[in-house]
A and B are shown apart, each in its own frame.
Chain A
Amino acid sequence: GAGVSQSPSNKVTEKGKDVELRCDPISGHTALYWYRQSLGQGLEFLIYFQGNSAPDKSGLPSDRFSAERTGGSVSTLTIQRTQQEDSAVYLCASSIITSNYGYTFGSGTRLTVV
């Protein structure tokens, strides 16, 4: 597609349940990033994928968070045993790695844990 596509756009889940968030990057973009935006806050880096290299997971807040990127394209962010503090907007971005930080962001998934 023309842009970065994220689904679902909104997700309400009960505390303790697992959730999966999907990101479909721009075709040809080798780099894919996940960020989290809590209410009234800036963006917090979570994880970064570049081509076939091992992902940089240094931003994941706990071992309940994991992500994978299949075939160098679609990525799934999984949060296990969700907690209320996981409520946030989860943003995915992709870029051509040589583009000097010209990320293209998706519209995000708003996750609410009740």
Chain B
Amino acid sequence: GQQLNQSPQSMFIQEGEDVSMNCTSSSIFNTWLWYKQDPGEGPVLLIALYKAGELTSNGRLTAQFGITRKDSFLNISASIPSDVGIYFCAGPSFLGNEKLTFGTGTRLTIIP
């Protein structure tokens, strides 16, 4: 079945640093989504990408849909304390377009 592999699994950074994380798949995706999950909450959609090569920004966040359609990247510039959380990539499941396959997540921690 489809799998989404995220790296790194966890990151420990200082406030103000830039962050990069990625998501790869063995199969092609036509849509890439990035979600953030705060502790004790459900994931919230950050950015959606619908076309290969697409580069989309949302404030300090920038995400790219890889040209091969098998990967995506999320960058966070000038990190702040509220960026702490788990970041998930997701894409439509081969089981049906309405369902999403989620990656295992990248946990971001900011060191004081």
Contact A42 B4 (CB under 8 A): yes
Confirm or deny: A59 has a beta carbon within 8 angstroms of a beta carbon on chain B.
yes
Query: Per a CB cutoff under 8 Å, which of B31, B40, B102 touches A43?
Result: B102
CB < 8 Å: which of A4, A42, A59, A100 contacts B104? A42
Interface residues of A in 34-67 (CB under 8 A from B): 35, 40-45, 48, 50, 56, 58-59
Once the chains are docked, how many angstroms separate the CA of A105 from the CA of B90? Answer: 14
- In the docked arrangement, what's the CA distance between A108 and B31, Å? 25
- Given A100-B50, A101-B100, A103-B100, do A45 and B42 touch, yes or no (CB 8 Å)? no
> Closest CB of chain B to A56's CB: distance in Å?
6
Contact partners of B44 in chain A: CB under 8 A: 105
Question: A45-B99, A93-B42, A106-B42 known; A101 and B104 CB under 8 Å?
Answer: no
Asked if B33 contacts A101 (CB within 8 A), the reply is yes
In the complex the two chains form, is A107's CB within 8 Å of B42's CB? yes
- B85 is an interface residue with CB less than 8 A from chain A: no
Complex CA distance for A102 and B92, rounded to whole angstroms: 12
Q: Is the CB of A45 within 8 A of B101?
A: yes
- CB of A33 within 8 A of CB of B31, answer no
Q: Are B98 and A97 in contact (CB under 8 A)?
A: yes
Chain B residues touching A, range: 20 to 34
Interface residue total, chain A, C-beta cutoff 8 A: 26
Rounded to whole angstroms, the CA-CA distance of A31 and B62 in the bound complex is 29
Q: Is the CB of A56 within 8 A of B99?
A: yes
Complexed CA–CA distance, A23 and B43 (Å) = 16
B45 contacts chain A at the CB level, 8 A cutoff: yes
* A105 and B42 contacting across the interface, CB-CB below 8 Å: yes
Instruction: List residues 56-86 of chain B with CB under 8 A from any CB of chain A.
Output: none
Q: Which residues on A are within 8 Å of B, measured CB to CB? A: 4, 31, 33, 35, 40-45, 48, 50, 56, 58-59, 91, 93, 97, 100-103, 105-108
23 A-B pairs (CB sep. < 8 Å)? A31-B98, A35-B102, A41-B105, A42-B88, A42-B105, A43-B100, A44-B102, A45-B95, A45-B99, A48-B99, A58-B96, A93-B42, A100-B31, A100-B50, A101-B31, A101-B33, A102-B48, A103-B100, A105-B44, A107-B40, A107-B42, A108-B41, A108-B42
